[in-house]
Amino acid sequence: MTLPSTAREVHLASRPEGFPTPENFDLVEVPLPEIAEGRLLVRNLVMSVDPYMRGRMGLGKSYVAPYGIGEALTGGAVGEVVASEAPGFEVGDTVLHGLGWREYSAVDAAEATKVDPRTAPVGAYLGVLGMPGMTAYAGLLDVASFKEGDVVFVSGAAGAVGQVAGQVARLRGAARVIGSAGSDAKVKYLVDELGFDAAFNYKDGPVGELLHRAAPDGIDVYFDNVGGEHLEAAIDSATTFGRIALCGSIANYNTSTPTGPRNLGLAVGKRLTLRGFLVKDHEHLREQFVREVGGWIASDELRYQETVTEGIDRAPAAFIGMLRGENVGKALVTL
Ligand code: NDP
């Protein structure tokens, strides 16, 4: 295979204020990276756009270091090894790594994981069988201590994490699974395709009222992808000893005036557990996750969608679109 002499990558041009705009990104043509010993040259096939990247574009408090202005962005990607200076990796291997947002990446072999494109489509390693799927699994089982018979509420339910969280709850024997999402089409997808018992469009009215209508007897578990008004509604509807997994608060990612729950005081009398988590702390569940969720996908008991945008030049638009809710399931960019 003849390699090109240059390749394109996306740089952060400026830090977004509020919602990112295309002007915050630059598409830059750079020489193909050279690879030193221990590294792989990877031609990327697909890359991920994720909400946490918004945090890294600013300078606020985030759990990951900010991206540098004028530097290439990073993130999950899967690609084909086109040159290898590392033992154990051959040209033609498919690898998962963290240097997305570029057509070719020079990856430290220690940071690359081989994946099998015959077991699952490459995009699945960034979605349902990758970081978001694992987040859903760990958040529900480890963090919210889900148990059979729980009534479970998932926000951001039609997204990458949410679509898995709700279905794991259903398949593990939840009494009732309720989802919220930002469009009627997503609500229909949750109920008709994913087997949620009830779902609502949170733009239809106060979330507290919509949730109360969907779960009149309250919720035992809340998987929080959204924060703000959703979290307040969940605290209000939580049953005694209810458990809340704080996964993300996307309602507050693009604003300088974040909203928080005003009713935290209720958590005392209800003896609620609210627990934040990061997926990386739950690696002990990985094998079980791959086996169980992989099995459900194979038997068609767990379904998922991806929203795929083509071309690295459209990666910023895919990212902005994801933040605005244009994706159903995992937002991916093919390169
Ligand atoms: P999604 O695929 O769910 O995409 C983001 C979705 O957020 C959009 O599609 C949109 O759907 C929804 N959204 C945007 N703005 C709002 C708003 N104001 N109110 C309610 N919903 C909104 O992303 P992921 O599944 O990848 O991530 C979901 C959450 O999980 C995020 O908060 C993310 O930060 C978090 N996360 C946390 C991890 C951890 O380790 N703790 C790891 C991975 C993700 P809609 O149309 O429904 O509005």
The domain segmentation of the chain, as residue ranges, is: 6-127+305-334, 131-280
Q: How confident is the model at residue 122 (pLDDT cuts 50, 70, 90)?
A: very high
CATH topology (fold) of 131-280: Rossmann fold (3.40.50)
Residues contacting residue 29 through CB under 8 Å, at least 6 positions apart: 6, 7, 8
- Residue 32: phi and psi, rounded to 5, are -60, 130
CATH of 6-127+305-334, one of 3.90.180.10, 3.20.20.100, 3.40.50.300, 3.30.2010.10: 3.90.180.10
- What does the mean pLDDT of the chain come to? 97
Q: How confident is the model at residue 1 (pLDDT cuts 50, 70, 90)?
A: confident
Q: How confident is the model at residue 17 (pLDDT cuts 50, 70, 90)?
A: very high
| Ligand 1 binding residues, C-beta < 6 A | 50-52, 132, 135, 156, 158-162, 181-183, 186, 225-226, 247-248, 250-251, 277-279, 322-323, 325, 327, 331
Closest CA to 132 of 253, 215, 247, 264: 247
Distances (CA, A) of 253 to 108, 181, 246, 298: 31, 17, 14, 35
User: What ligand 1 atom has the least distance to the C-alpha of 229?
Assistant: 19
Q: Report the Cα–Cα distance between both ends of the chain, in Å, rounded.
A: 17
61 has a pLDDT exceeding 80: no
pLDDT at residue 31, rounded to an integer: 98
Within 10 angstroms of residue 260's Cβ, the number of other Cβ atoms is 13
Spacing, Cα 152 to ligand 1 middle (Å): 17
ipTM over 0.90: yes
Nearest CA to ligand 1 atom 29: 225
- Lowest average pLDDT, out of 48-62, 71-85, 97-111, 244-258, goes to 48-62
* Residues 189-193, mean pLDDT to the nearest whole number: 98
Over residues 309-323, the pLDDT tens digits come to: 999 999 999 999 999
Mutate to test the pocket of ligand 1, among 168, 225, 323, 327 (most ligand atoms within 8 A of CB): 225
Q: How confident is the model at residue 65 (pLDDT cuts 50, 70, 90)?
A: confident
Spacing, Cα 35 to ligand 1 middle (Å): 35
User: What ligand 1 atom has the least distance to the C-alpha of 163?
Assistant: 25
- Helix 228-237 to helix 207-214 angle (10° resolution) is 40
